Amino acid sequence: MRWRRLTGNRLSLAALCGILLVVAAALLAPWVAPHDPDETDAEATLSSVSLRHPLGTDIYGRDQLSRLIHAARVDLLVALSATAIALTLGATLGALAGYRGGWVDQLLMRAVDAIMAFPAFILAMGITAALGNSTANLVAAIAITHVPIYTRLIRGEMLKARETEYAEAARTVGNRPRQIVLIHLLPNCVPPLIVQATLAMGFAVLTVAALSFIGLGIQPPQSEWGQMTAEGAGYVVSGEWWLVLFPGLAIMATVLAFNLLGDTLRDVLDPRMRGVR
Amino acid sequence: MTELLEVRDLSVQFDTDEGVVEAVDAVSFGVRAGEILGVVGESGSGKSVNALAILRLVRPPGRIVGGQVRFEGEDLLTLSEEEMRAVRGARISMVFQSPRTALNPVLTVGRQIARLFELHRGASRRDARRRTLEMLTRVGIAEPERRARQYAHQLSGGMCQRVMIAMALATSPRLLLADEPTTGLDVSIAAQVLELLRDLGRRTGAAIVLITHDLGVVAEVCDRVTVMHAGQLVEVADVRTLFARPLHPYTQALVRAIPRIDQDVAMEPIPGAVPSLLMPPPGCRYADRCPRVLDVCRRERPALLVAAPEHEVACHAVEREGAVAIR
Amino acid sequence: MGFGGYLLRRLLLVVPTLAGVTVISFALTYLLPGNPALVKAGALATPDVVREIERQMGLDRPVPVQYWRYVSGLLRGDLGESSSTGRPVLEDFRQRVPATLELTLASLLVAVALGVPLGVLSAVRRDSLLDHVSRLLGVGGVAMPSFWTGLLLLYVFFYLLGVAPPPLGRLAADVTPPARLTGLYVIDAALTADGVALVSALHHLMLPALTLGFAVMAPLTRMVRATMLEILESDYVKAAWAAGLPRRRVVYGDALRNALIPVITVLGVIFGFLMAGNVVVEMVYAWPGLGHYAVTALVTKDPGPIQSFVLFVAVMYVFVNLAVDLLYGLADPRIRLR
């Protein structure tokens, strides 16, 4: 039993290291990438794993490792901005709904219900298609589909807090309970928000990749993991495996790292949510 | 009198992240045919684990590490799992606390009783159904046909416990283990349930082990009592003796803690809490709470010794005073 | 209140949800940039022509009026036209729904057939090797993009082993589709005893169903394992052991029957995953379903089909969730009889 706890910690440590590695790669891309991502090597087009090109090259002879490293920037940036926007907007709306109650609450919650009536990826697809392909639109699409998570979370906490002792205590000393709730609530909301945001990061990376894979979202020549997979897809049936394997591995490792970290954070910060997902 | 069940040196441990917990530590006692034996102690004293261990139902991370459980002459701990299954629910059955959650929510209560007749008595579906209705009537449930078709959540707590008792006694076991059967029930309902247990036990000749933390319950229905503290058995006596002349300091504290209406004496809470069972010290586990503690108490575990006919106690202090005739 | 009341309450809830869905879908179709009149008129149209088309399409009217026209159009089955196929979107849909349905059902079958037993065994033999493997799959499965697993499976089973067909649709090129009864090739071929088509259909369905099934298996296994673990510790399972019921009956009768009730609730979420996964997997295997149609239309700058697809999926999703809730009510007497 003890070793399970230990491996649990070791796993989350590995997850944290993985995330730091991807973040470092993204930040330092121009310096750590062995080649320019757009530089073509005419002597080594569609070449497999080699010393010169550790992860092989594509049809134009571009170095895949360098492209993967540069793609990390796009994937992380989109996922991070979408998550940050969704968290801010969602939490604010949730607080507003819980604080004001009444018709504001009704209206906001109906809107949230409507968004949640769509499978998230499908809605993101519709929004990107409607807004047009651009990085900003991709961020907007993912952010919108993630807003309800935070709105519901904060609103739920607000409603719960209203029934608690400090709200009661505030009432007895003549304070307006809602104000007190708002002040005392924030620290209570931070742990579940962190947990949700971490888990949502993983989901956002998957969504960016999948949207770009089907041609929505990030467009060539800018490199993005899902879009790189799409470019390599045609070569899988003729045996050029590296064009698909590595971008996919990058996606999986990143998503896995965020999920594992999120799970651990949930166990540590927010034990009552354990096993909910 | 013949011993129906004889437990000797039964020990149960739980492997936890922090270490080994000795939940039941070398407990020995006997149950005689047809009697009602009370097992009392605070929560965490190992009473329930003790009962589960008799049926070999301790689940990992818990395990039975030693001892014997002789039932009608055979040691249950040596039986195969298959043989054990023929004992459970047929020759020894169990009534759990919180009757509502001990009934399967998606099966009608009738079905839950009927399947025991099918399983243990090889009854046909029809026959099992008829006997189920009989059984429901016997435990005092009105309109048995209608009730049999209902689910646990549609019945009151008291009614659920009656159903549990019907299940437990359906196959006329020789021994019934009742684990806090009245917890969570109204006082008046609890009294009815106890009455029913005693009555049915008498009529079917089944012995009952009644696990409870409530000495009032014990006084009302039990013939004999064993007192457990922190996984160890500290005193065994018939009911009258136990209340009139408790020997172990812990039992004395328990008896004093009973609120009395007839006397103008303040109820005394027992000082301290049940000690941690995590790698406990070698001596008496009551030592840290005991007003009569001696040096030897912390070093050596006191043996269970005969103090008087029908009265055994495990306490160095009592032994010192010479009240104990060594067996 | 009986099940009838529950049914009625749940049915009434569908109305506002559908209203919300159509509002969002309307906004995506008409209100956002990418003026549909511009699209319809084509790149070379003069501003006058565009205005004329706008008037024809009612785009100059107040928004509520436009919305009303949109919804009443939907109720008549008007999903707009596809400029790439030049046909009503509804008709194109009708042709492609069976392919998507076949893939979805096959994937669901794969996921349930593998995921539920794995979750149960994993809970019963907690901390065994099998449990560790299943938990690894549970964590890893949700992190793998399904387009990637699909492509890897293709590489292994088509390129390396040569046992899978090329990713070019639902049947081999030289096989004629079975007579159309349901539109699901596997079922139609089986019903008409068309052996050749059946084998080819199953052969082509194999990898896509495995890809998508694997993707949704992870949350299912996780859920089954978690609820089974909880239920195996419950009082009534303890009581079942104490009553001497055989192990199989306790685990698969008493425990699993109760564990499947919460599992029903994730079926809705799983359907959502399946619809999202469909789009991607259909692209990988050139599976001629709805997702493939919508995405292909988009490539030719034809946003109509994709918005209709989004709406269609959302409406399906609402009704699947309704069905899930009703099923839940039927399975759990505590809800049915409340």
Q: Chain A closest CA to B62's CA: distance in Å?
A: 13
Residue B300, in any domain of the structure: yes
Please indicate, yes or no, if residue C15 is contained in any of the structural domains.
no
Residue B71 belongs to some domain of the structure: yes
pLDDT for A89 beyond 70: yes
What's the pLDDT score for residue A2? 43
Facing residue for C243 by CB, picked from B151, B153, B167: B167
Nearest-angstrom CA–CA distance, B302 and B149: 53
Question: What is the amino acid identity at position B144?
Answer: P
Residue where a domain stops, chosen among B115, B147, B172: B172
Among the partner-chain residues C126, C242, C258, the one whose CB lies closest to the CB of B105 is: C258
- Whole-number pLDDT of residue B266: 55
Decide if C46 is inside a domain: no
Is the per-residue pLDDT at B325 higher than 70? no
| Cβ–Cβ contact C91 with B under 8 A | no
Q: Write down the pLDDT at residue A272.
A: 55
Domain count for chain B, please give it. 2
Whether C319 and chain A come into contact, CB under 8 Å, resolves to no
- Give me the torsion for CA of B49, B50, B56, B61, rounded to 10°: 30
User: Is the bond leading into C177 cis (omega within 30 degrees of zero)?
Assistant: no
Chain B interface includes C145 (CB < 8 A): no
Q: In what side-by-side order are the strands of the sheet with B3-16?
A: B19-32, B3-16, B62-71, B74-75
Is residue C252 within 8 angstroms of chain B, CB to CB? no
Residue B182 and residue B47 share a domain: yes
Q: Is the pLDDT of residue A122 over 50?
A: yes
**Whole-number pLDDT of residue C338:** 46
Q: What is the DSSP string of B249-302?
A: HHHHHHHHTS--SSS--PPPPPSS-PPP-BS--SS-TTGGG-TT--HHHHHSPP
Structural contact between residues B40 and B225, judged by C-beta atoms closer than 8 angstroms: yes
Asked if residue B64 and residue B207 are part of one domain, the reply reads yes
H/E stretch holding B208 reads strand B207-212
Residue B187's CATH number? 3.40.50.300
Nearest neighbour of A122 by CB, restricted to C20, C152, C275:
C275
Q: What separation in angstroms does the CA of B18 have from each of A2, A9, B21, B277?
A: 8, 17, 9, 11
| Inter-chain touch C147–A241, beta carbons under 8 Å | no
Burial of B187 (0-12, 13-18, 19+ CB in 10 A): exposed
- Edge-to-edge order in the sheet of strand B224-229: B92-95, B175-179, B207-212, B36-40, B224-229, B232-238, B311-313, B305-308
Return the residue of C nearest to A144 by Cα.
C24
Residue B170: band (very low, low, confident or very high) from pLDDT cuts 50, 70, 90:
confident
A209 touches C: beta carbon within 8 Å: yes
Residue-averaged pLDDT of chain B: 84
Establish if C144 belongs to a structural domain.
Answer: yes
Q: Do B99 and B157 touch, CB atoms closer than 8 A?
A: yes
Residue A263 has pLDDT above 90, yes or no: no
The reply to whether C338 falls in a domain is no
Q: Is B16 on the interface with A (CB under 8 A)?
A: yes
pLDDT tens for each residue of A21-54: 999 999 988 898 888 888 887 787 778 888 888 8
pLDDT for A174: 67
Pairwise pLDDT comparison (C106 vs C294), residue with the higher score: C106
Q: For residues B122 and B268, state if they share a domain.
A: no
Q: For chain A, give the mean pLDDT.
A: 85
Residue C182, SS3 per DSSP: coil
Backbone φ and ψ for B168, nearest 5 degrees, come out as: -65, -35
User: Given CB atoms, is C2 within the 8 Å cutoff of chain B?
Assistant: no
Percent of chain A whose pLDDT exceeds 90:
45
C159 and A236 within 8 Å at the Cβ level: the answer is yes
SS3 A1: coil
CA distance A11 to chain B (A): 18
ipTM topping 0.85: yes
Residue C129 lies in a domain: yes
- Which helix (H) or strand (E) element contains residue B40? strand B36-40
Touching subunits for chain C (3+ Cβ pairs under 8 A): A, B
The predicted structure's pLDDT at residue C5: 79
Cis status, amide bond into A221, omega within 30 of 0: yes
A2 touches chain B (CB under 8 A): yes
Q: Per-residue pLDDT for A178 more than 70?
A: no
Considering only CB atoms, which chain B residues are within 8 Å of A1? Answer: 15-17, 61
Mark which residues 306-325 of C lie under 8 Å from B by CB. Answer: none
Predicted local confidence at residue B269, as pLDDT: 64
Q: Which residue has the tokens 């010393």?
A: A51
* Rounded Cα gap, residues A122 and A210, in angstroms: 11
Q: Compute and round to an integer the Cα radius of gyration of chain B.
A: 20
* The predicted structure's pLDDT at residue A112: 93
* Same domain membership, residue B107 and residue B7: no
Q: Does B101 touch chain A (CB under 8 A)?
A: no
Instruction: Using a CB–CB cutoff of 8 Å, tell me whether C246 touches chain B.
Output: yes
Tell me how crowded residue C11 is: count the other CB atoms within 10 A of its CB: 12
Q: Is C14 a domain residue?
A: no
pLDDT digits (tens, 9 = 90+) for A201-248: 999 999 999 999 998 888 888 889 999 999 999 898 888 899 999 999
- pLDDT beyond 50 at A110: yes
CB contact under 8 A, A233 and C151: yes
Same domain assignment for residues B193 and B307:
yes
Contacts of C24 in chain A (CB under 8 A): 114-115, 118, 123
Give the residue from A2, A4, A9 with the most B CB atoms within 10 Å of its CB, the best one to mutate. Answer: A2
pLDDT value at position B262? 59
Cβ <8 Å between B104 and C235: no
pLDDT digits (tens, 9 = 90+) for A216-229: 888 888 889 999 99
- Whether B55 and B152 share a structural domain: no
Highest-scoring range by mean pLDDT, A61-70, C31-40, C277-286: C277-286
Of B125, B156, B172, the residue that ends a domain is B172
pTM above threshold 0.90 = no
Domain shared by B188 and B155, yes or no: no
The per-residue pLDDT for B327 is 41
8 Å CB contact of B85 and C235: no
In chain B, which residues have their Cβ closer than 8 Å to the Cβ of A2? 17
Give the domain extent around C121.
Answer: 96-331
Q: What is the pLDDT of residue B81?
A: 86
pLDDT of residue B229: 86
Residue A58 has pLDDT above 90, yes or no: no
Q: According to the model, what pLDDT value does residue B326 have? A: 46
pLDDT at A42: 79
Task: Assign residue C302 the CATH number of its domain.
Answer: 1.10.3720.10
Tell whether A272 lies on the interface with B, counting CB pairs under 8 A.
no
Count of the separate structural domains present in chain C: 1
**The pLDDT value given to residue A3:** 45
B105 interface with C at CB cutoff 8 Å: yes
Q: Largest Cα–Cα distance of chain A, in whole Å? A: 80
Q: Is the pLDDT of residue B315 over 90?
A: no
**Terminal alpha carbon distance of chain C:** 6
pLDDT band at C157 (very low <50, low <70, confident <90, very high): very high
pLDDT tens for residues B119-144? 888 888 888 998 899 888 888 888 88
Where is the domain boundary, B126, B143, B172? B172
The mean-pLDDT minimum among A116-120, B15-19, B75-79 falls in B15-19
Residue B51 has pLDDT above 80, yes or no: yes
Q: What is the mean pLDDT of residues C193-198?
A: 91
Judge: C24–A129 Cβ closer than 8 Å, yes or no.
Answer: no
Domains and CATH numbers, chain A: 2-273 (1.10.3720.10)
pLDDT score of C299:
76
- How distant, in Å, are the alpha carbons of A10, A229, B323, C133 from that of A256? 14, 18, 69, 16
Tell me if C243 and B102 make a contact (CB, 8 A cut-off). no
In chain A, which residues have their Cβ closer than 8 Å to the Cβ of B17? 1-2, 5
Closest CA of chain B from C130, distance in Å = 18
Examine the domain organization and report whether B167 and B194 are in the same domain.
Answer: no
Whether residue B226 has pLDDT greater than 70 = yes
Flag if B102 and C235 touch (Cβ within 8 Å). Answer: yes
Question: Does any domain span residue B96?
Answer: no
- Indicate the pairing of strand B36-40 with strand B62-71: unpaired
pLDDT band at residue A1 under the 50/70/90 scheme: very low
Q: Is residue C277 part of a domain?
A: yes
Residue C131 CB burial class (10 angstroms; 0-12, 13-18, ≥19): middle
Q: Is the CB of residue B39 less than 8 Å from the CB of residue B254?
A: no
CA atoms of C276 and A227, how far apart (whole Å):
17
Do B47 and B149 lie in a common domain? Answer: no
Residue A176, pLDDT > 80, answer no
Asked if B104 lies within 8 A of C258 by C-beta distance, the reply is yes
A5 in contact with B, Cβ within 8 Å: yes
Report the pLDDT value the prediction gives residue C114, as an integer from 0 to 100. Answer: 93
pLDDT at B118 over 70: yes
Mean pLDDT of C65-82: 85
Assess if residue C236 is contained within a domain: yes
Q: What's the pLDDT score for residue C214?
A: 93
A1 interface with B at CB cutoff 8 Å:
yes
Please, which pLDDT band fits residue B26 given cuts at 50, 70 and 90? confident
CA–CA distance, A116 with C21 (Å, rounded to integer): 9
Asked if the model's pLDDT at residue B115 lies above 50, the reply is yes
A5 neighbourhood in chain B, CB within 8 Å: 17
> Which residues 34-63 of B have a C-beta within 8 angstroms of C?
55, 57, 59-60
**Confidence grade of residue A274 (pLDDT, cut at 50, 70, 90):** very low
Q: Contact partners of A by the rule of 3+ C-beta pairs under 8 A? A: B, C
Range(s) of the domain holding residue B29 = 3-91+173-325
Question: Averaged over C238-263, what is the pLDDT?
Answer: 87
Kindly tell me if the per-residue pLDDT of A276 is higher than 60: no
Tokens of B32: 């005689």
The verdict on a CB contact (< 8 Å) between B96 and C235 is yes
Model pLDDT, residue A175 = 67
CB proximity A237 to B under 8 Å: no
CB A172 within 8 A of CB A229: no
pLDDT of residue B323: 54
Query: How do residues C21-35 score in pLDDT, each as one tens digit?
Result: 999 998 888 766 555
Could you read off the pLDDT of B241-291 as tens digits, one per residue?
888 888 888 888 888 877 765 555 555 667 666 677 777 778 888 888 888
DSSP line for A189-234: HHHHHHHHHHHHHHHHHHHHHHHHHTTSSS-TTS--HHHHHHHHHH
Q: Taking CA atoms, what residue in B is nearest to A5? A: B17
Confidence of residue A6 (pLDDT cuts 50, 70, 90): very low
Least CA distance to C257: which residue of chain B? Answer: B106
- Which of chain C's residues have a Cβ under 8 Å away from the Cβ of A117? 17, 20-21, 314, 317-318
Contact assessment for residue A202 and residue A259, using Cβ atoms and an 8 Å cutoff: yes
